[in-house]
Structure 1
Amino acid sequence: MDNMTMHLLAGINLGLAVVLFLALWLVALRIRDASFVDAFWALGMVVIAIASLWLHAGDLERQLVVTGLCVIWGLRLGLHLFGRWQREGEDRRYASLFQRAQNRGLGFAAASLVLVFLPQSVLMWMVSLPVQLGQFGEGFGLLGMAGIGLAIFGIAFESIGDYQLERFRKDPANAGKVMDRGLWRYTRHPNYFGDFCTWWGLFLIAAEAPWGWLALPGPLFLSWTLIKWSGAPLLERGMAERRPGYADYVRRTSGFFPWFPHNPR
């Protein structure tokens, strides 16, 4: 296919994201549960990455690296989250969201469409801008090589963190305990920090392309989400009440960026 301009590729991908999430909304209506959408944030980015590779005929080596990093990140995380949803059922955050919507007279169909699937389709598209605009340009300079290294580090970091947490949870002796081992000793959210590194790495790659800096809203929004909005803060809300010892864990462990544990005294 002939070279495609950035704005045209991004516009096509936006339409693709909306169509994909509308299809997922229909699935949610059937099963009366929308919380599986978290898995499709990652899997949807895989779709966007592959579509971008197919739509734009540029430097194939560069495109394969950018797309490959996103596919590895997205498949691992998406399948991990999908498996967790299958095991644990509806996420309490979504159940609370729909309960509040119902109290205001908004049914499940309308609430899930307006509050979940439509906005998340646009936000997923925006966060994936680095992998879309990273398809452009030629080769890799120092910035791009640094981005590749940072993205690989992020994928490895969150993969190890998730593996450690899964092993911890499967041990019956750890029931009700706080995970404070391995990477979780240095940050309360290794998985979110890994996402942060991966997408800032992909942005560095995109930044080498002409007008690639336009992808900046993606990692900025993701960082704010993970650190200040629906990531770490929402997950930790009420955790101290549900997990004995969690308050002490918070006092001695870095909230996001890894650092050595400190004595709370």
Structure 2
Amino acid sequence: MTEFPLWHLALLSLITCCIIMALVWLWSYKIKNAGVVDIFWSYNFPVIAAIIWIHAPATQSRKILLCSMVMLAGLRLGTHLARRIFRHLHEEEPRYAHIRKEWGSSAEVKMFFFFQMQAASNVLLAIPFFIVAMNTSPQLNGFEYAGAALWLISVAGEAIADAQLAAFKKDENNKGKVCDMGLWHYSRHPNYFFEWLMWVSYFVFALGSPYGYLAIISPAIILYLLTKVTGIPATEAQSLRSKPEAFKKYQQTTSVFVPWFKKG
């Protein structure tokens, strides 16, 4: 296997993710459902992990641990999203339909560039992976073990939150209601919280490598996106449109983000 320098790994990852997202955009154009971008945004991280596995100079044990974490998390989330989206593949999710309506006649062109920006975000967020990929130290260290432990907690928490929400929605008696069971009783977005915590775990993992402190960029970006841009604002806006009274009441009794900081 040919070992690549850091910029080669990043460039190959960017080209690959951009090609994938271009193909996904063509599919979304055909079926008129931009929601499929979420599936492949998640799947692109295992693709980057595979590139690191094949071409990074890091020691074998380090690559096994890091790439396993990234692949398992990306495949779990992507598959969870695929199961949800494929149930109504030819009916676009309301938040994307709302964006499409706002963009009007230029929606498809803007969607293409939106998909490409998602590919670029994959590579930008993968900074911790690239940092670790350059570490040729023969032994794993305390930061890497701590990061792996935090990763396990975060992935388990997100999977539990996703399962609880799926079970709630599956019950026909809950139609028009807001999920307030399990972790959702304490936070309006426990899935987003644990997603962010997972990126914190990658940052902790990267601290065991030279220049690992630069990996703080990833959880910082994720926190900003989730709380200010595409995560919580878009989700809550849609909930207020679809079930205004129930969701307003829910907002008054729950924390917006951290599960154990319940209001009231």
Q: Deviations over 1:190-209 (max 9, x none)?
A: 11111111111012112322
**Shift in Å, 1:241:** 4.8
C-alpha spacing 1:214/1:262, structure 2 compared with 1 (3 Å)? closer
Aligned equivalent of 2:158: 158
Aligned equivalent of 1:195: 195
- Using the TM superposition, name which of 158-167 and 202-211 deviates more: 202-211
Determine the C-alpha separation between the residues in 1 that align with 2:43 and 2:107: 27
**Shift in Å, 1:188:** 1.1
Aligned equivalent of 1:106: 106
Determine the C-alpha separation between the residues in 1 that align with 2:121 and 2:263: 36
Aligned equivalent of 1:174: 174
Q: Deviations over 1:174-226 (max 9, x none)?
A: 22221111111121111111111111101211232223333332221111111
Structure 1, unaligned runs of 5 or more: none
CA RMSD of aligned residues (A): 1.7
In the TM superposition, structure 1's runs of 4+ consecutive aligned residues that sit over 6 Å from their partners are: none
Q: Structure 1 residue 131 and structure 2 residue 129: aligned?
A: yes
Q: Does the 8 Å contact 2:144/2:206 carry over to 1?
A: yes
Q: Structure 1 residue 256 and structure 2 residue 257: aligned?
A: yes
- The one-letter code sitting in structure 1 at the alignment partner of 2:251 is V
- The one-letter code sitting in structure 2 at the alignment partner of 1:95 is A
Q: Does the 8 Å contact 1:98/1:111 carry over to 2?
A: no
Scaled by the length of structure 2, the TM-score of the pair is: 0.91
Determine the C-alpha separation between the residues in 2 that align with 1:163 and 1:41: 20
Q: Does the 8 Å contact 2:142/2:208 carry over to 1?
A: no
C-alpha spacing 1:177/1:202, structure 2 compared with 1 (3 Å)? same
**Shift in Å, 1:229:** 1.2
Determine the C-alpha separation between the residues in 1 that align with 2:211 and 2:47: 23
**Shift in Å, 1:68:** 0.7
Q: Structure 1 residue 68 and structure 2 residue 99: aligned?
A: no
C-alpha spacing 1:191/1:107, structure 2 compared with 1 (3 Å)? closer
Scaled by the length of structure 1, the TM-score of the pair is: 0.91
Q: Deviations over 1:47-99 (max 9, x none)?
A: 11111111114211111111111111111110111111111331222222222
Alignment equivalent of 1:121, drawn from 119, 122, 145: 119
C-alpha spacing 1:228/1:174, structure 2 compared with 1 (3 Å)? same
C-alpha spacing 1:94/1:238, structure 2 compared with 1 (3 Å)? closer
C-alpha spacing 1:178/1:32, structure 2 compared with 1 (3 Å)? closer
Q: Does the 8 Å contact 1:48/1:132 carry over to 2?
A: no
Q: Structure 1 residue 6 and structure 2 residue 11: aligned?
A: no
Q: Does the 8 Å contact 1:3/1:58 carry over to 2?
A: no
Structure 2, unaligned runs of 5 or more: none
Determine the C-alpha separation between the residues in 1 that align with 2:211 and 2:7: 10
**Shift in Å, 1:260:** 4.3
C-alpha spacing 1:30/1:175, structure 2 compared with 1 (3 Å)? closer
Please list, as runs of the form range in 1=range in 2, the aligned pairs for 1:61-100 lying within 5 A after superposition.
Answer: 61-88=61-88, 89-100=91-102
Determine the C-alpha separation between the residues in 1 that align with 2:261 and 2:12: 45
